[in-house]
């Protein structure tokens, strides 16, 4: 019996073939997405402690005179590639929040991560073909007290009954943030194996500005029922690239995913400190990695996902690695 089972499994592995989508992905709708990232999911309150993003992505604009189509025509790496080629514009508002580990200290430990916040607005253009997606985004924002991160954290802590952090007077000072990011993700053909669909999505990208300077690369693997034609849930940089929109190929799909991202970091203002004035800082690690696992459910009108992120140490005096959770809800706009 064991031999027969092993032979059947081997036969499935050897005869697995790419599976095409049963129906064409729907690019006729836009989407609005809400993302909340927080370490509270795993009972911690330190380092990258909270991030929130609200994004709107348009329907495909190919054939119109929208600015995003004009930009995609000019950019050399946004190439018209096949009948399913799409161009979309993206608009996003977000806030990131960073604290040291010992938030009860009035004077924070100088060897721990500085308090910092980042409030930003972003505009971007993306192009998508059958096998890859390019995303270019420009962020404009404010670092420091103007980010309202201190007010936001103290307000939330007062609601949930958690002691308020005391070291925010030592946060990074006000500084405008300007950031340009680019990501390319590739999409393998779907593979049917043991009654499930699988695909692989490698990625590579870079960021430049006074907020972050880094180059990154990695991949994500998905497995489940009726995999959609998009590139996974929305995420906040720096991280694996996702998609603020979704493209269901079936009325219902469910899948799990796992991914890795490795970054070579040349600058991180939230660790290196302010650019033009003295502020708290720590010695940044050059190599940083993320490992994530998660699950998503998608219908023809909504996508809901949860992601568990493990992040390696970002600075030399950091005592332990970090982890946080991310919940994303995307709704189709028709």
Q: Where are the domains of the chain?
A: 21-333
Residue 196 in this model has a pLDDT that exceeds 70 = yes
Give, in order, the Cα–Cα distances in Å from 90 to each of 36, 54, 203, 213, 330.
Answer: 18, 11, 19, 22, 14
Query: Residue 170 — very low, low, confident or very high, per pLDDT cuts 50/70/90?
Result: very high
The pLDDT, as a whole number, for residue 247 is 83
**pLDDT tens per residue across span 242-268:** 988 888 878 999 999 999 999 999 999
Please state, for a pLDDT cut of 70, what percent of the chain lies above it. 91
Q: How many whole angstroms separate alpha carbon 331 and alpha carbon 234?
A: 12
161 dihedral zone (left: phi>0; alpha: psi -120 to 50; beta): left
Average pLDDT in the chain: 89
* Arch. (CATH architecture) of 21-333: Beta Barrel (2.40)
The pLDDT, as a whole number, for residue 224 is 96
* Contact between residue 329 and residue 317 where contact means Cβ atoms under 8 Å apart: no
Q: How many whole angstroms separate alpha carbon 178 and alpha carbon 27?
A: 31
């Amino acid at each position: 019996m064991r031999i027969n089972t092993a032979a059947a499994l081997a036969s499935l592995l050897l005869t697995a073939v790419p599976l095409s989508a049963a129906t064409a992905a729907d690019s006729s709708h836009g989407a609005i997405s809400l993302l909340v990232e927080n370490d509270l999911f795993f009972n911690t309150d330190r380092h990258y402690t909270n991030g929130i993003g609200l994004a709107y992505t348009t329907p495909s604009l190919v054939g119109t005179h929208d600015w995003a189509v004009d930009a995609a025509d000019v950019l050399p790496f946004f190439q018209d590639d096949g009948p399913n080629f799409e161009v979309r514009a993206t608009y996003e508002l977000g806030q990131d929040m960073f604290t040291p580990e010992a938030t009860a200290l009035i004077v924070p430990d100088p060897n721990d991560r500085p308090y910092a916040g980042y409030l930003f607005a972003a505009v971007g253009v993306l192009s998508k073909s059958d096998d890859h997606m390019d995303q270019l985004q420009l962020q404009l924002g404010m670092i420091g007290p103007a980010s309202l991160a201190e007010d936001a954290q103290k307000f939330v802590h007062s609601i949930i009954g958690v002691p308020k952090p005391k070291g925010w007077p030592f946060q990074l000072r006000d500084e405008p943030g300007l950031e340009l990011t680019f990501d390319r993700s590739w999409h393998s053909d779907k593979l049917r194996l043991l009654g499930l669909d699988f695909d692989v999505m490698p990625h590579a990208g870079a960021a430049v500005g006074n907020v972050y300077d880094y180059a990154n690369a990695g991949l994500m693997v998905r497995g489940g029922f009726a995999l959609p034609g998009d590139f996974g849930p929305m995420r906040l940089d720096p991280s694996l690239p996702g998609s603020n929109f979704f493209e269901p190929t079936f009325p219902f799909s469910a899948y799990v995913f796992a991914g890795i991202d490795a970054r070579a970091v040349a600058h991180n203002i939230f660790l290196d400190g302010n650019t033009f004035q003295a502020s708290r800082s720590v010695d940044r690690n050059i190599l940083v990695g993320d490992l994530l696992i998660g699950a998503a459910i998608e219908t023809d009108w909504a996508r809901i996902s949860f992601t568990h992120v493990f992040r390696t140490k970002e600075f030399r005096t950091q005592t332990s690695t970090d982890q946080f959770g991310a919940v994303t809800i995307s709704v189709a706009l028709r």
